Structures are given as C-alpha cells and as structure tokens.
Amino acid sequence: MNIIVLIKQVPNTTEVKLDPKTGNLIREGVETIINPDDLHALEAALALKETHEAVVTVLSMGPPQAIDAVSEAMGMGADKAVFLSDRAFAGADTWATSYTLGKAIQHMGEVDLILAGRQAIDGDTAQVGPQVADFLDLPQVTYVFDIQAVHADYVVVKRRLEDGYERIQCRLPALLTVIPGAGKPRYPMASRLLLACREKAPIQVWNAADIRVTTAEVGLEGSLTQVMRTFAPKFERRGTMLEGGTVDVVRTLTAHLRENKLV
C-alpha cells in the first residue's frame, strides 16, 4: 500500500508579521516547524505502516530551507520523500500549489491513500487538500480524526462534525484531510534524523522539469489569484468617561450601545 503525506513547513507562530513596506511575510528570526495538522496526518500514516504493509512517502513544496521539515518527517519514520523546490514554484496561490502537488503525485505513480493536514497555520485556507483531490479526480473526506480500517479497495474513517462525528466508508484511492486525533505525533529518532540530514538519499528533490510542468503553469505565473495589497489591520481605541450617578451612567451607556448597534 502506498501512502503519500503532504507536509508544509510553516512559521512556529499564528501571529504572522508583515513587512509594512513590502507587505511580505517577515520570515527572519521566526522558528519553523512542520504544520501541526500535517504531523497528525504523518502519525496516522506511520500507525498504518505498523499494521499494514505500507510505504509512506512525504511530499512537500517549499523554498530550499523547507527540506528541514522533510528531514524531520524522515526522522519520524517516513520511508521516502519528494521535495519540490524550484524558483518557478515561488509565489503560488493555493490553486497553483495544489496543481504542482497533484502533478508530482501523478509523476510518483501508484498511490492508495493521500493524507494532508486540514489546514496550514500560516495560509489558513484549508483549500490545498480538497483541491489536490479534485485535480486527481479522487474521492475525499475532510476533518478525519480516526482511520478505523483500511481494506484493499476502501477505507473506514471518522470525521469530526461540530456536534458529533460521521463514520464514512470511502473507496480507495482517496484523499483524507486530517485533524488531531487520539494518536500523539511521535518524536523523530536521532539516528533516522542524522541519516536523512547526512545522506539525503531517500529525499528526492524535484524541479518543474522533473514533474513535466512549464513555468507558466506553476508559481506566480500559474496562479489564478493575485494579492493586490497586504496589510495589518489598524486598531484604534477611543475612550469616553461617563460621569454622574450610577443610573445616569447606565442610561447613557445603554443609549450609546444601542445607537452604535452594539446591542
């Protein structure tokens, strides 16, 4: 059974800071991690490997330094990795990201199960998993927190709802987007990490030509959307002191709240 896990390297913060002049993300000095939901997807894949004959391959697209996330995934127990890194991939919106990942998956050959995190903590769109499934014309289940059974041609999973869960049987190959479940992501093993960092052997680095795409199809050029402007919202605080007796103050306050449609 071939399992592909999509992982993204993200800044270790949900408070993304923007350069006020360029509008770009400030990445300097920010520690990076594997996106938390992706760690749960990888843990689910590694748990399956323990009970089924499975080969777990991680797939990531990012700038050169994102190979650290791939090495960490290898340290956790992934068998192989494909790292997509090419200047041509830079500036991709979610559509171009999903297209590039989809093309790489097609190039990787036979796959039974693709696991992605539900959402990345920096981009936060939760679009990439579903878009990859759509591109590959695969069934998908989102918000999966428990993979209960895997058979030759179908999988049984539990997906989270606001007030409960659904138990779903889905034919394979399929794509699941994963949220934290019962299994805590394992720590990388030092020996495996060293091997991945030193030899990089099981990590294949692919560029646009490797996955047979032109530069016009990927990255900024291949993106269907363009960011016109990025800015941090400015908060203004205005204070008004209410004076007088309690009853007067309460009357003035409630009138003010009603007037401003706050109640």
Contacting residues toward ligand FAD, per CB under 6 A: 6-8, 35, 37-38, 60-62, 91-94, 97, 101, 116-117, 119-120, 122-129, 220, 225, 227
Q: Which is nearer to ligand FAD, 47 or 252 (CB)?
A: 47
Strands 164-171 and 154-161: antiparallel
> Least distance (Å) from ligand FAD to the CB of residue 247?
51
d(CA 68, CA 72): 6
CB of 69 to ligand FAD, least distance (A): 9
Tell me the closest approach of the beta carbon of residue 10 to ligand FAD, in angstroms.
7
Minimum CB separation of residue 41 from ligand FAD in Å reads 6
Nearer to ligand FAD, 146 or 252 (CB): 146
- Strand segments (E) across the chain: 2-6, 9-11, 32-34, 55-61, 80-84, 113-117, 140-150, 154-161, 164-171, 174-178, 203-206
Cβ-based nearer residue to ligand FAD, 99 or 150 = 99
CA 246 from chain centre, in angstroms, equals 52
Contact 203, 196 (CB under 8 A): yes
Q: Which is nearer to ligand FAD, 172 or 220 (CB)?
A: 220
Based on CB atoms, which residue is closest to ligand FAD, 6 or 74?
6
Smallest gap from residue 215 Cβ to ligand FAD (A): 15
Pairing of strands 32-34, 9-11: antiparallel
Q: Is 1 exposed, middle or buried (0-12, 13-18, 19+ CB in 10 A)?
A: middle
Smallest separation, CB 221 to ligand FAD (Å): 11
Which amino acid is it at 222? G
Q: Which residue is nearest to ligand FAD (CB)?
A: 123
Name the amino acid, one letter, at 243: E
In terms of CB distance, is 127 or 215 closer to ligand FAD?
A: 127
Q: Which residues contact 243 (CB under 8 A, 6 or more apart)?
A: 249
